[in-house]
Homo-oligomer: A and B are copies of this chain.
Amino acid sequence: MLNVKTPEEVKEIINKSFPSENMPGSFRSETVGAAHALGRVLGEDVVARDNVPGFNRSTVDGYAVLASDTHGSSESIPALLRLAGEVQMGESAGLRLISGACVIVSTGGEVPEGADAVVIHEFTEDYGNSMIGICKPAASGSNIIFYNDDTSKGDIVLSSGKKLSAHDIGILSALGYSEVVVRKKPVAGVISTGDELVPVSDAPKSGQVRDVNTPMLLAALYHYGAEGKDFGIIKDDEEAIRSAMLSAVESCDIVLISGGSSAGLRDMTADIIGSEGELLLHGIAMKPGKPTILGKVGNKPVFGLPGHPVAAYMVTELFIRPLIANIMGATIKNKSATAKLSEAISSNHGREEYIPVKVDNITATAIPVKGKSGLISGLADIDGYICIPRDCEGLPKGSTVTVYYL
């Protein structure tokens, strides 16, 4: 009955059914102040508009010289140079240095034309009367950042799709970008279904549980760079779910219907998706996350997520996170690490299994966090997850595993 696919097949279905270039919400951009661009995705290549720095800069405090004037100099036979002045910080050097002369320059100051090296103070001696002794030969280019060492005008310094870090904001600033074009955040609608669900602020009666998925998924979506839109808790009623779904499809780029733990409700969600659009899959051969549905309604992806929070979270991390990145044209690079398993794990479910782990950085050990399916408290301390392949019956203690950080 279930049209169960492997996680790899699911990724292919998603990429084939929702190619970025066809998604209604793809690649929309907006301009924001660079100060508010942290974590946003670049909407176009950032090109150097000028050479950076715009002049030859000293990297030390010392004397700008012609390197050739210093050749053969030593402590005992210093090269004698005439002091021709001092470069003021923030001002043009305003002179052309000629052989036999030197000028005082500070770190970050302009090295005058003609000069091709800076000698630091400790290798010089001031004899008074504007005579400076250089006690060590300087190589041409030493202690200078040349006017286009950092970037040359026209260089692509940051590529479209990059998620901006604090140092990227530094790069934008160096290039004179006080504003930057970033991708608009895709809008993801979240619908929670289930007669047993009550809002977080309510006290559940017997048989009821609080709606964990809505706040958790909204937070995860925000973390992935999307804007979550809350469609509330919907009862197990076909027309109510249909109406919420159509409203979410109308105003969002992607829709997450969570809940429907029972087989009947899963079928109802699948039927609604099928009648309003196309059902693409019904079941993923993974643990947790098997009862996942995916369909296409109005050219937009509609996910039916498991009701169990841990399963819903894992499916969102594995499939919806990359889809959101695709809509933005974002290049995401997961942080991962190699670690040794702290204990043996058995797995013989015929399904790819995703196991949450804590990581001990000191010993590079991955500690599996176990617990009955559906418990959420076990997630409190996790750092990431490991994946046990479908055909693997388990891993012995001490196995080398890849931890994918969350």
Chain B residues whose C-beta falls within 8 Å of the C-beta of A309 in the assembled complex? 167, 170, 174
Nearest-CB residue, chain B, relative to A204: B54
Q: Mark A375-406, 1 if CB is under 8 A from B, else 0.
A: 11101101100000000000000000000011
Complexed CA–CA distance, A176 and B208 (Å): 13
Among candidates B59, B87, B170, residue contacting A213 with C-beta atoms closer than 8 Å: B170
- Interface status of A151 (Cβ within 8 A of chain B): yes
- Interface status of A318 (Cβ within 8 A of chain B): no
Complexed CA–CA distance, A111 and B91 (Å): 80
Q: Mark A19-59, 1 if CB is under 8 A from B, else 0.
A: 00000000000000011001000000000001011110101
Chain B residues whose C-beta falls within 8 Å of the C-beta of A304 in the assembled complex? none
* Secondary structure type dominating chain A contacts: loop
Report yes or no: B110 in contact with A219, Cβ–Cβ below 8 A.
no
Interface size for chain A: under 10, 10 to 19, 20 to 34, or 35 or more residues? 35 or more
Chain B residues whose C-beta falls within 8 Å of the C-beta of A162 in the assembled complex? 380
Nearest-CB residue, chain B, relative to A317: B166
Most buried by B among A150, A336, A380, A406: A380
A-B complex: 10 closest residue pairs judged by Cβ atoms? A170-B216, A106-B262, A337-B337, A90-B196, A166-B220, A90-B195, A166-B219, A92-B206, A107-B261, A169-B219
Known: A35-B215, A338-B364. 10 other contacts (CB 8 A): A91-B207, A106-B262, A167-B313, A167-B379, A170-B212, A171-B377, A171-B379, A173-B200, A173-B210, A335-B337
Query: Contact residues of A with B, CB < 8 Å?
Result: 34-35, 38, 50, 52-55, 57, 59, 61, 87-93, 106-110, 145, 149-151, 155, 157-158, 162, 165-174, 176-178, 194-197, 199-201, 203-220, 222-223, 236, 261-265, 307, 309, 313, 333-338, 361, 364, 372-377, 379-380, 382-383, 405-406
